[in-house]
Amino acid sequence: MTLTIHGFQDLIRERYFATDAARGTPGTFMWLMEEVGELATSLHECSHDASPTKAQRANLAEEFADVLAWLATLANINDVDLEKALEKYTDRERVKGVKP
């Protein structure tokens, strides 16, 4: 199944919105930060091994997915359409250059 950003955000909304909305933005942001920390740990483990194991690579992919899911959750409870927000990257006049 191929997912769009909008489709993924809708899937997250359908499954979790009631719980997420009750938790609110501050609590949800803390969960996002916890997942970012887990992603950082996984990146660190993979970058220090000459050849990360299959399990390490699987964990890395899972942590990326978790961060994206919590970001979609945060966007949902703050009424932000991520796909629409990402359109700024398709406008060459709006986003220029690279950060060092």
Complete DSSP assignment for 23-57: HHHHHHHHHHHHHHHHHHHHHHHHHHSSS--HHHH
CB atoms near residue 66 (< 10 Å): 18
Q: Outline where DSSP puts E strands in 1-100.
A: none
pTM: predicted TM-score of the whole model, two decimal places = 0.88
pLDDT, one tens digit per residue, over 40-71 is 999 999 888 678 899 999 999 999 999 999 99
pLDDT, one tens digit per residue, over 15-32 is 999 999 999 999 999 999
What is residue 37's predicted lDDT score, i.e. its pLDDT? Answer: 98
